[in-house]
Amino acid sequence: MDGLASIFSSTVVGTMDDSTLARFAAETEDVQRDRKILQNKLKVLKLGLKTCSRYIVRKRAGKNPMQLLTLLYCELTFTHRFYS
């Protein structure tokens, strides 16, 4: 790895055309597809976690008005952060 900089320097990379760079650096279509699938799965899991978290907090809050207000504040804060 020590000699890599002399073979593959930033100057060499800077002179490469787009197609040559793509051959070295681009992800394959399979990797791109897998990444998209995993991102969609992660989104679904995050939404599921949000739903489960709301249910658990509500169940714990009972009927105490202050706890319910705190729960509402936490949900609004989480929703804002999740969709921002």
Contact yes or no for 78/50 (Cβ under 8 A): yes
Residue 45: predicted pLDDT: 84
* pLDDT tens per residue across span 31-42: 999 999 999 888
Q: What is the pLDDT of residue 47?
A: 81
The CA distance from 16 to 32, in Å, is 23
3-state SS, residue 67: helix
Helix (H) or strand (E) holding 1: none
Q: What per-residue confidence (pLDDT) applies to 2?
A: 65
**Helices 29-61 and 65-83: crossing angle, nearest 10°?**
170
